């Protein structure tokens, strides 16, 4: 991540969430990310990371894309457009999914919520929201379904961490106790109509709260006020990245892209080849499902001195085996960790590899993902 560049001639200025003024008021450092001006940190990435692991953190996720698909054919339409089968979801449940190209390459990874029998919410990454919206509109045209892109009308705040339920419960009429992971229910938070989902991107228990765009600032203030006694801290993209990496969660643009298929990433379970009907990418994914892998996504623990960064080569026995996709100094584990694609044969846990850090080869060991699991 880099400091926000001044938009050049012909470049659009980054969009702003409803909370930009709020972030500035508390001294957040803002950067351009995915076409949006977003907080990368407030007090510091390390403090924010630890707040989420030990207490709770509050994230502005209003840059994400919210795409509603509804109608009698909404389930069939999404089953044809995505690799998963949203028709199998019970009302009030969600699952992880992907939208792929005909060749199986990943256009974006998504969360799909079934809000009613004929109404679904697809949440896309900020940088891909427009592309996903256009593709969905194109792919559902033959079905009795309509797409309502409410990305610029929906605010999203996430409370993440072991104290998140204690913070949110007094503010909402939703009974959080029976709300399972990857489940969602409509209700109110601080008197604001909201969709409350038990989802997140940190490896901790937590909730994502969707509200009308104009009420996002009100929601944020209520959550901060209600969470102060529990040690709630505002958190930025920096902590979100270190948290998701410890939890072994892929990031689009790093572990996932159009040149990568779900099987490369170890996410073949998301692809439902047994579902009824055709879907975009089926033929290619059927071949890839049984083809010998050309690379594997693995975790690496760096045992030498140095931090593996995105794009650094991974070396095995003097040959280049692959490339680092994400890397950091893990605040929780106290040592450098990374994810990388490596050649078949180099993916077994315990395999000793090396990462080329500038002009040196730094030792690393293949480590099962995730690096961190929250206490139960």
Chain CA centroid to CA 192, Å: 25
Q: Per DSSP, which regions of 177-244 are E strands?
A: 184-189, 192-197, 206-212, 232-235
What are 206-239's pLDDT values in tens digits?
A: 999 999 999 999 999 999 999 999 999 999 999 9
Non-local CB neighbours of 338 within 8 Å, separated by 6+ positions? 299, 300, 302, 308, 324, 325, 326, 327, 328, 355, 364
Q: Which domains are delineated in the chain?
A: 15-62+153-246 (3.30.1360.120), 65-149 (3.30.70.1400), 293-376 (2.40.30.110)
The model's confidence at residue 12, banded by pLDDT at 50, 70 and 90, is confident
Grade residue 10 by pLDDT with cuts at 50, 70 and 90: low
pLDDT tens figures, 99-138: 999 999 999 999 999 999 999 999 999 999 999 999 999 9
Q: What is the pTM of this model?
A: 0.95
């Amino acid at each position: 991540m880099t400091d926000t560049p001044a938009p050049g001639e012909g470049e659009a200025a980054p969009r702003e969430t409803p909370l930009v003024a709020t972030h500035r008021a508390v001294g957040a450092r803002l950067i351009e990310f995915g076409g949006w001006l977003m907080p990368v940190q407030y007090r510091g990435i390390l403090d924010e990371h630890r707040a989420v692991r030990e207490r709770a953190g509050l994230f502005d996720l209003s840059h994400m894309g919210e795409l509603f698909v509804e109608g009698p054919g909404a389930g069939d339409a999404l089953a044809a457009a995505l690799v998963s089968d949203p028709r199998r979801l019970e009302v009030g449940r969600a699952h992880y999914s992907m939208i792929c190209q005909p060749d199986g390459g990943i256009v974006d990874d998504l969360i799909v919520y079934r809000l009613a029998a004929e109404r679904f919410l697809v949440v896309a990454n900020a940088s891909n929201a427009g592309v996903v919206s256009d593709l969905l509109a194109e792919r559902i045209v033959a079905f009795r379904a309509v797409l309502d892109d409410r990305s610029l009308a929906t605010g999203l705040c996430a409370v993440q961490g072991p104290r998140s339920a204690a913070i949110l419960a007094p503010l909402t009429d939703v009974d959080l106790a029976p709300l399972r992971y990857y489940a969602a229910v409509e209700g109110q938070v601080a008197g604001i109509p909201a969709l409350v989902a038990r989802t997140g991107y940190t490896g901790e228990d937590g909730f994502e709260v969707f509200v009308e765009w104009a009420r996002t600032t009100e929601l944020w203030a209520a959550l901060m006020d209600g969470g102060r006694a529990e040690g709630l801290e505002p958190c930025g993209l920096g902590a979100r990245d270190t948290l998701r990496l410890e939890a072994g969660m892929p990031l689009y643009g790093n572990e996932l892209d159009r040149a990568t298929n779900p099987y490369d990433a170890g996410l073949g379970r998301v692809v439902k080849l047994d579902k009824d009907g055709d879907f975009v990418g089926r033929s290619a994914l059927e071949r890839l499902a049984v083809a010998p892998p050309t690379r594997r996504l693995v975790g690496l623990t760096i045992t030498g001195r140095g931090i593996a960064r995105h794009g650094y080569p991974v070396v095995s026995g003097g040959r280049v085996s692959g490339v680092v996709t994400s890397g950091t100094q893990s605040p929780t584990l106290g040592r450098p960790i990374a994810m990388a694609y490596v050649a078949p044969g180099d993916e077994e846990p315990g395999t000793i590899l090396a990462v080329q850090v500038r002009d040196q080869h730094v030792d690393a060991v293949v480590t099962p993902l995730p690096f961190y699991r929250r206490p139960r």
